[in-house]
Every structure is written in structure tokens, then in C-alpha cells.
Amino acid sequence: MNIAERYPAQAAPKVGVAKITTTRQCWMQCRFCDFSQFAPLVFGADIDPCLSLSKAETQLKRLNPAVKLLKIRGGLSFREPFSYFRALVKTAAKMFSGPIQAFSPIELYQWHRIEQRPIRDLLAELRWAGATQLGPGGGESLVQPWRDRLSPNRLDAEAWLSLASLGWETGMPPSAMILAGRWLAKEDLAQHLHLLTTQSWHHLEVKIMRPVTLHPELEPIHLIALCRLVSEIKEKMPDTPLYVNDPSYPLTDDAYLLLTRAGADGFYTTLEDIEP
């Protein structure tokens, strides 16, 4: 590798992202997620409806032209049927010609259980509606002790990996995630990455943790440690595109350059949020 390749003069490209959120209420109550409100646990609380299709369409008409990727996500809702989520994807695909990352194995499993439909059929319908890839939600902690502590209500890691792999069969390739925070022990990170290497991914996403009052170990990672993490991921999976999600605080130009040198292929930058 020559000097120009090892020390690029410019940072990897930023990919503008628009996030479409169906609902922020979710029964899983994962400890690192702000989609953990579950209204039925509170007496007298109403369950808000999901994002309306008309509101989504209105906001998509005004979408920032710099957006190059749509991410459709949300908590687990019991009120809306699968047909609503399929229609939301179809609405988005009418208004946006780029790639659409829609939902994750977690949502697929819930639809499968509630509507008693094969997961391959659900994936095929999302693909028909216009989705191009499956999101990494639910794969943040594939080491089972992590999972038991941080997201104990989710299906186990082996089941998540199995569901994600089905995306390749229907043209909905899956993506995977690595959480960046000081809570990661070396041996746990090594196991998580090993599990990721057991199958192929459309791309990998690094998500920087944000502070959580009850879990101070989830505080944001230092830039040097983040660079080390990116480098280790790239060493393990050199042929899989690796994107770093921008944190809630802005990164400097030097930070982007350092992360690029460490192995990042690009950066996901949220330009718009479409919410209920």
C-alpha cells in the first residue's frame, strides 16, 4: 500500500440520510434505546398511532436533495398490521429513487408471530414495495451476555443472525452494527466480530453510544479508541463496506480524516427526521 492510500488527503464521503420513524413506542425496552416507551405499562396512557402515510408523503415531497439513503425504522407497534409498514415503504419508494433501508429482523419476527406469515414472504413484499436492504436493528449485541443485560426481551443472537441471512434470498441484503462505547471488553468485541464474520453483510455500521443515566458505562467513546475499533473491524472484514454513523455531537474535519485513515469507507449523516 502506498503513502497516498494509507494516509488519504481527504476523508471518506458523507452519505446524507433521512430517517423515517414509525413510532417511538416499543415493548422491548432495550436499555440503550430511546424507543423504549411502552404506553400500556402505564395505567390510562394511550398508544399513539404510527406515522401517517399522508404525513410521510408530504414530508418526502420536500426531501433535501442531498439525501442519498432512506432509513425506515421504529419501535414495535401492536396496532398497525404489516400492510401498513409495506404501504409506508411503497409511499417512500414513490417519492425517493435511492436505496431504502427498511426495518430489521426484529420487526420481521414480530410480524411473523402476529400475522402467522412466513418471513420469506414478508421480505419479498417489502422488496416488492421498494425496499432495497434490511436494517441492522437488534444486532447491536450479538454476544449473549450483552444481550441478556441490555436487551433481554429480544430474540436471541443466533435467531437474529438466522433471520438476517434470509434477506439475501429475496434481494434484501442485511446490514450489521457495532456499538462503540467504553463498555466493550476486548474479548466480547472479538466474539461479536467473529459472529459477524460467519456470514456476509451488505455493509457494517458503527454506532457511537450516547450517555444513559442508569448505565454510565455506555458513555461516548474517545476518538482514539473509536479509530482503533474501526481499524479492528476493517482488519476482520476488509471487503465489507464500513460506515460510521455521526454521533449527536459534531465531528471535526480532523476526526473524519482520522477515521478514514483507520478504515471507514464513509459516514452516515442525518439530514432529515420524518416522525409521527
pLDDT of residue 213 exceeding 60: no
Helix crossing, 223-236 with 186-196: angle to 10°? 40
Q: Is the pLDDT of residue 74 over 90?
A: no
What's the CA gap between 275 and 179, in Å, rounded?
A: 24
Give pLDDT, residue 35: 64
pLDDT for res 63? 95
Each residue of 194-212: pLDDT tens digit?
Answer: 999 999 999 999 988 765 5
What does the buried/exposed string (b/e) look like for 219-229 if buried means 16 or more CB atoms within 10 Å of the residue's CB? ebbebeebbeb
Q: Is residue 4 part of a domain?
A: no
User: Band of the pLDDT at 3, cuts 50, 70, 90?
Assistant: very low
Residue 6 lies in a domain: no
* More confident site: 75 or 100: 100
- Determine, yes or no, domain membership for 152: yes
Note the residue count of the chain: 276
Distance of CA 179 to the CA centre of its chain: 11
Domain-located, residue 2: no
Q: How many domains does the chain have?
A: 1
37 versus 193: the higher-pLDDT residue is 193
- Whether 3 is covered by a domain: the verdict is no
Q: Is residue 209 part of a domain?
A: yes
Q: At what angle do helices 253-262 and 223-236 cross, to 10 degrees?
A: 30
Give mean pLDDT, residues 67-79.
88
Q: Decide if 172 is inside a domain.
A: yes
Residue 240 pLDDT: 98
What CATH number is attached to the domain comprising 228? 3.20.20.70
Residue 90's domain comprises 13-274
pLDDT tens-digit series, residues 81-135: 999 999 999 999 999 999 999 999 999 999 999 999 999 999 999 999 999 999 9
